[in-house]
Chains A and B, each alone.
Chain A
Amino acid sequence: MPVALAGCNDALSVVAPAGPAAQTIATLWWVMLAGSGLICVLVAGLLWAAFRPRGATDEARQERLWIHGLGLAFPLSILAALLAYGLWVGERLLPRAGADVVRVSAAGERWSWSFGYADADGRVTEGVLHIPAGRPVDVAVTTRDVIHSFWVPRLAGKLDAIPGHVNVLRLEADRPGVYAGLSAEYSGVGYAGHRFEVHAHDAAAWDAFLRGERP
């Protein structure tokens, strides 16, 4: 079933989340889409009504309505709410310390990825990142050459791999499975094929992986 998912249309879809981070962001998207839709309808309605005949009103009142009301108060209140929501979401997605956090590392290179594991010293995998399902994972992202970006759309947002810097991304998979990953920063002619996979394991398989067995 998870393997089948990787071949399906939603393999790279932001709106088919498979982890808490991606889920939170997907919800944010649907909320914003609904709000934007309403605003579009409002503007379209106002424009349509402008072409209807109507009586004259005085300019000072119109200025209050259009500029103070619709121009200032309306966006300010909506944006304040959205900003607060966005910050709350952002805070929830931060990599915070915790007892069950798994730490791994990802190094991008044209055009491959290699992954290291804090819990399995010296263990390096190429092209496949192994993680336990249901536990928060902190990925330390860096690069060996140009800028890349580490992105597993169904699990979390993306984070850049920048020379000389290490950025930490928090992700988590709800269930065991295979999740497609991409580099999302243009890196030259091999960019389109700059992919990797994330294999999320149940607890037993993860322990086996850490012991050095092939999962």
Chain B
Amino acid sequence: MNTLARHRRLTRIWASDPGWRGWFTTVNHTDLGRMFLCTAFFHFAVGGVLAMLIRAQLATANSAFVGAETYSQLFTMHGTIMMFLFAIPAFEGLAVYLLPKLLGTRDLAFPRLTAYGYWCYAFGGSMMLVSLLFGIAPNSGWFMYPPLSSVIYSPGINTDFWLIGITFVEISAIAAAVEFTVSILRYRAPGMSLDKMPIFAWYALVTSLMILTGFPPLILGSILLELERAFGMPFFQVALGGDALLWQHLFWLFGHPEVYIIFLPAAGIVSTVLPVMARTTLLGYGWVVAAAVALAFLSFGLWVHHMFTTGIPHMGLAFFSAASTLVAVPTAVQIFAWIGTLWKGRPELRLPMLHILGFFATFVMGGLTGVMVAVVPFDWQAHDTAFVTAHLHYVLFGGFVFPVLAGIYYWLPHFSGRRRFFKLGEVAFGLIFVGFHGTFLAMHWVGLMGQRRRIETYDAETGWSAINLVSTISGFVMAIGLVLVLIDVVLHAAIAIRTSRNPWRAGTLEWAMLLPAPAYNFASLPRVGDRDPLSTDPDLALRLARGEGYLGSPAQDRRETLTVDIASGRPDYMVIFPPNTALPVVMAAVTGLFFLSLLVKVYWITPLALAGVAALACLWVWQLGTRADAGPQEAGHGLSLPLAGETDRSPGWWGSVFLLTANATLYGSLLFGYAFLWTVAPGWPPPAWLPASLAELALGTGGAAVAATGLRVAIRGNRGGRPLPGLLLAAAGTLALLGALVAFLWRVPAPAGHAYDATLTVMGGYALFHAALLALMVGLLAMRVRAGHTSPARRAEFGIVRLWADYAALVAVASLVLAHLPGLLA
């Protein structure tokens, strides 16, 4: 097979469907990455328009441009859109597009999940935008503090849009995080050990793990607040045993890691692009990785610095203040590693480098003001003023938008296969840079002069008018700059001339392919021996296109790639990816129906939508695997690999591990909430503890043990071809578990009475959901056994269900024991 024939054959196998159908059925990461990025930048434009309206309102004193109510929607939606519908999805889009290419593989671990995540984001985002169009958008500020956001003070549907819409969108963040984690750990080119990974992959890995542990507290908070709003479960109402501070803890437990979730991918872009611009390699690779990991850990220890003014005891504040200042250390390590890299090399002032310099100037200042507000007494003055608004824009625009613009211009030839022709980008950079600093530099000062954030008007005698006017004019200059970038990119994509293969002379694998990227990425997969394989072997692209790597000759028309051992990068399985399918978009639509039914409070649709999602999920799983043992597969160069389904630890197992990590964080946040209310909320102890029931405890614990044991018996039985008795045992245990949980929930008093009863209901409901999920999984697995989808060799599914069985058993026992404990002790 010659190079062209191989290209045609692989394109036929991997390409998305032609025409408009392809948009809805594609599972290809290159296409979905582009869709993600375009949608994210569309939301950036919408958020930007809102920002301009905010600035127009504040341009002069006593402005009557928009009223207070409209203004509240503007600033709430500006923050919400930029955080949830732009920054995170932009990272997801870039990583979806780039990761497989950087890692030397053909797609992400779960292609259908990529598509599902995209559609959840697109539908959820549309939901938010619809609320804006109809003037019923969220209006309590983007951090939604109750009781302002509770049903008493915000009776309309506005807040529900936020709680339900954002939770819907978060599905895409969790899906992407699971997928990135598994892809980075397992889906790499042969020989790419962890220490040879491109630095962007390290950043994406750390970011993904942070999403898995950072987003669940917010998701839990949103669920609790919506339960309070819809069903009167008083988690945040102090009169009924709740506490408004619980929301702040849950929100900022998410909210602070979120800042680093946004910054770290951008730092990954800088670490990738800057060395190329300086014609050298990154100084202190190991230190930079360590700094990213340290940043991730520290960022979970400083959420309270958003709550310095809530009356937390000073010693507690001292701890969080120390953690908040300490976080500057790994940031400094990275900053100086980058400057050192510039010193080591010969930096050239090309367009991506300009944006990186813009990043340095802006982000360093944002970091310094960040250290200032981390010092508690100063925060007592600066908190909730324009100083903080200015600080956070320095950090987020400086730390995210400038690097992303650098990345866009750096990878633009990759997206389009063209060379930049018009020099609009340089002018745009100048406008953006000057406009940004003009908007926000003096805003620090007006904040110290007493201008609070979120006010819609101020008096002329405050003396703030001049600064605000400069701010507004500069804001529009910045907006013009950003529009020029858009025009530049569109012109580029439409009419620029074709580029050479590796225009920046970079060393990473994404440049070792045809431009624009073909659907299959690499005609054959490389063997990697160092961090910059393309610098070591400039002809690598041609050799891969000629099929000299692995998997160059697909045996059948199937989408083949391989996975590697996590640490060493030794190939271990072959993976066959699913074909194009509309299943993800349909499932996202039905998921949307579920959220919509909650939003408009038409609750009879909710169970139907939930059943629809479950049915589609079963179909999703049913399409996987084969009905015959395939045995070892040829991968080229004498390498022979088993199929992933014929192993104990398939990609699905790894995906489940990380999904359960996020899930366990959600449950942990719930237990944190229980403990917090118990110890801090004024309305505790509740009027009556739930009486303990030993029968319930025994049935639940016994059922959990039997269910978990059943899966182990099934796995052992499957080795001899008889898994069904074990599954039957598991089903019996699950039923007992379900019985115990239903009995428990039946006994809990009406959850609207006290936050204690509401908490017990949610703990029981959470366990019940997982027990029901386990019942579904065990049933489906039994059907697949009967249909011949498993065999002693095709055994991967048993391990996955075992994980979920163990988790369901664990949370059920934990919920029951913790709920009964006060009753047992009393």
A residues near B (Cβ < 8 Å) are: 7-15, 22, 24-25, 28-29, 32, 36, 39-40, 43-44, 46-47, 49-51, 54, 59, 62-63, 65-67, 70-72, 74-76, 79, 82-83, 85-87, 89-91, 93-94, 110, 145-147, 149, 153, 156-160, 162-165, 167-168, 180, 182, 184-192
Q: Are B365 and A40 neighbours in the complex by a CB distance under 8 Å? A: yes
6 A-B pairs with CB atoms under 8 Å apart are A36-B368, A54-B343, A66-B340, A147-B147, A162-B245, A188-B72
Interface residue stretch chosen among B315-323, B395-403, B564-572, B717-725: B315-323
Q: Are A40 and B368 neighbours in the complex by a CB distance under 8 Å? A: yes
Which residues of A sit under 8 angstroms from B343, Cβ to Cβ?
46, 49-50, 54, 62, 66
Which residues of A sit under 8 angstroms from B244, Cβ to Cβ?
147, 162-164
Contacts A47-B357, A158-B384, A191-B455 given; indicate if A59 touches B283 (C-beta within 8 A). Answer: yes
Q: Are A76 and B329 neighbours in the complex by a CB distance under 8 Å? A: yes
Which residues of B sit under 8 angstroms from A75, Cβ to Cβ?
328-329, 332
Q: Are B245 and A82 neighbours in the complex by a CB distance under 8 Å? A: no
Give the one of B384, B458, B461 with max A CB within 10 A: B384
Q: Are A94 and B311 neighbours in the complex by a CB distance under 8 Å? A: no
Q: Are B147 and A14 neighbours in the complex by a CB distance under 8 Å? A: no
Q: Are B148 and A32 neighbours in the complex by a CB distance under 8 Å? A: no
Q: Are B378 and A62 neighbours in the complex by a CB distance under 8 Å? A: no
Q: Are B448 and A29 neighbours in the complex by a CB distance under 8 Å? A: yes
Residue B765 lies at the interface, judged by CB distance under 8 Å to chain A: no
Q: Report the Cα distance A68→B452, complex, angstroms.
A: 40
A67 contacts which of B243, B337, B349, B372 (Cβ < 8 Å)? B337
Considering the complex, give the chain A residue whose CB is closest to the CB of B334.
Answer: A71
Indicate with 1 or 0, residue by residue over B332-357, a CB within 8 angstroms of chain A CB atoms. 11111101101110010100000001
Q: Are B147 and A62 neighbours in the complex by a CB distance under 8 Å? A: no
Q: Are B314 and A94 neighbours in the complex by a CB distance under 8 Å? A: yes
Which residues of B sit under 8 angstroms from A40, Cβ to Cβ?
364-365, 368
- Shortest B682–chain A CB gap in Å is 4
Q: Are B339 and A46 neighbours in the complex by a CB distance under 8 Å? A: yes
Considering the complex, give the chain B residue whose CB is closest to the CB of A141.
Answer: B311
Q: Are A164 and B681 neighbours in the complex by a CB distance under 8 Å? A: yes
Q: Are B326 and A79 neighbours in the complex by a CB distance under 8 Å? A: yes
Which residues of B sit under 8 angstroms from A94, Cβ to Cβ?
314
Q: Report the Cα distance A164→B365, complex, angstroms.
A: 38
A157 contacts which of B342, B349, B372, B381 (Cβ < 8 Å)? B381
- Shortest B412–chain A CB gap in Å is 24
A186 contacts which of B334, B339, B364, B454 (Cβ < 8 Å)? B454
Number of A-B contacts (CB under 8 A): 241
Q: Report the Cα distance A51→B453, complex, angstroms.
A: 40
Which residues of A sit under 8 angstroms from B314, Cβ to Cβ?
90-91, 94
Residue B231 lies at the interface, judged by CB distance under 8 Å to chain A: no
Residue B11 lies at the interface, judged by CB distance under 8 Å to chain A: no
Q: List 10 additional contacts besides A164-B681, A180-B450, A186-B148; criterion CB under 8 Å.
A: A43-B364, A65-B340, A66-B336, A71-B336, A76-B329, A86-B377, A146-B148, A158-B384, A164-B238, A188-B153
Q: Are B317 and A90 neighbours in the complex by a CB distance under 8 Å? A: yes
A90 contacts which of B318, B369, B458 (Cβ < 8 Å)? B318
Considering the complex, give the chain B residue whose CB is closest to the CB of A36.
Answer: B368
A93 contacts which of B309, B333, B344, B377 (Cβ < 8 Å)? B377
Which residues of A sit under 8 angstroms from B325, Cβ to Cβ?
79, 82-83
Q: Are B458 and A192 neighbours in the complex by a CB distance under 8 Å? A: yes
Considering the complex, give the chain A residue whose CB is closest to the CB of B308.
Answer: A157
Contacts A43-B335, A59-B344, A66-B337 given; indicate if A158 touches B450 (C-beta within 8 A). Answer: no
Q: Are B347 and A147 neighbours in the complex by a CB distance under 8 Å? A: no
Give the one of A50, A59, A182, A190 with max B CB within 10 A: A50
Q: Are B347 and A162 neighbours in the complex by a CB distance under 8 Å? A: no
Indicate with 1 or 0, residue by residue over B767-786, a CB within 8 angstroms of chain A CB atoms. 00000000000000000000
Indicate with 1 or 0, residue by residue over B45-76, a CB within 8 angstroms of chain A CB atoms. 00000000000000000000001110010000
Q: Are B452 and A32 neighbours in the complex by a CB distance under 8 Å? A: no
Indicate with 1 or 0, residue by residue over B352-380, a CB within 8 angstroms of chain A CB atoms. 00000100110011001101100111111
Indicate with 1 or 0, residue by residue over B251-294, a CB within 8 angstroms of chain A CB atoms. 00000000000000000000000000010000110010001000
Q: Which label, helix, strand, loop or mixed, suits the secondary structure of the B interface?
A: helix
Q: Report the Cα distance A13→B385, complex, angstroms.
A: 11
Residue B383 lies at the interface, judged by CB distance under 8 Å to chain A: yes
**9 closest Cβ contacts across the A-B interface?**
A157-B380, A12-B450, A66-B340, A164-B238, A167-B311, A9-B463, A71-B333, A50-B342, A86-B375
Indicate with 1 or 0, residue by residue over B459-484, a CB within 8 angstroms of chain A CB atoms. 00111000000000000000000000
Q: Are A71 and B449 neighbours in the complex by a CB distance under 8 Å? A: no
Q: Are A189 and B340 neighbours in the complex by a CB distance under 8 Å? A: no
B378 contacts which of A12, A32, A149, A191 (Cβ < 8 Å)? A32
Q: Report the Cα distance A59→B337, complex, angstroms.
A: 12
Q: Report the Cα distance A43→B367, complex, angstroms.
A: 12
Residue B645 lies at the interface, judged by CB distance under 8 Å to chain A: no
Residue B190 lies at the interface, judged by CB distance under 8 Å to chain A: no
Considering the complex, give the chain B residue whose CB is closest to the CB of A182.
Answer: B452
Q: Report the Cα distance A184→B447, complex, angstroms.
A: 12
Considering the complex, give the chain A residue whose CB is closest to the CB of B450.
Answer: A12
Q: Are A29 and B378 neighbours in the complex by a CB distance under 8 Å? A: yes
B452 contacts which of A146, A163, A184 (Cβ < 8 Å)? A184
- Shortest A62–chain B CB gap in Å is 6
- Shortest B437–chain A CB gap in Å is 12
Considering the complex, give the chain A residue whose CB is closest to the CB of B349.
Answer: A51
Considering the complex, give the chain A residue whose CB is closest to the CB of B76.
Answer: A186
- Shortest A23–chain B CB gap in Å is 11
Q: Are A50 and B140 neighbours in the complex by a CB distance under 8 Å? A: no
Q: Are B381 and A71 neighbours in the complex by a CB distance under 8 Å? A: no
Q: Are B318 and A87 neighbours in the complex by a CB distance under 8 Å? A: yes
Which residues of A sit under 8 angstroms from B278, Cβ to Cβ?
50
Give the one of B337, B383, B452 with max A CB within 10 A: B452
Q: Are A86 and B450 neighbours in the complex by a CB distance under 8 Å? A: no
B406-425 residues at the A interface, CB under 8 angstroms? none
Q: Are B329 and A63 neighbours in the complex by a CB distance under 8 Å? A: no
Which residues of B sit under 8 angstroms from A156, Cβ to Cβ?
380
Q: Report the Cα distance A189→B343, complex, angstroms.
A: 53
Residue B179 lies at the interface, judged by CB distance under 8 Å to chain A: no
Residue B31 lies at the interface, judged by CB distance under 8 Å to chain A: no
Give the one of A32, A66, A91, A188 with max B CB within 10 A: A66
Q: Are B309 and A62 neighbours in the complex by a CB distance under 8 Å? A: no
Q: Are A67 and B148 neighbours in the complex by a CB distance under 8 Å? A: no
Q: Report the Cα distance A65→B452, complex, angstroms.
A: 42
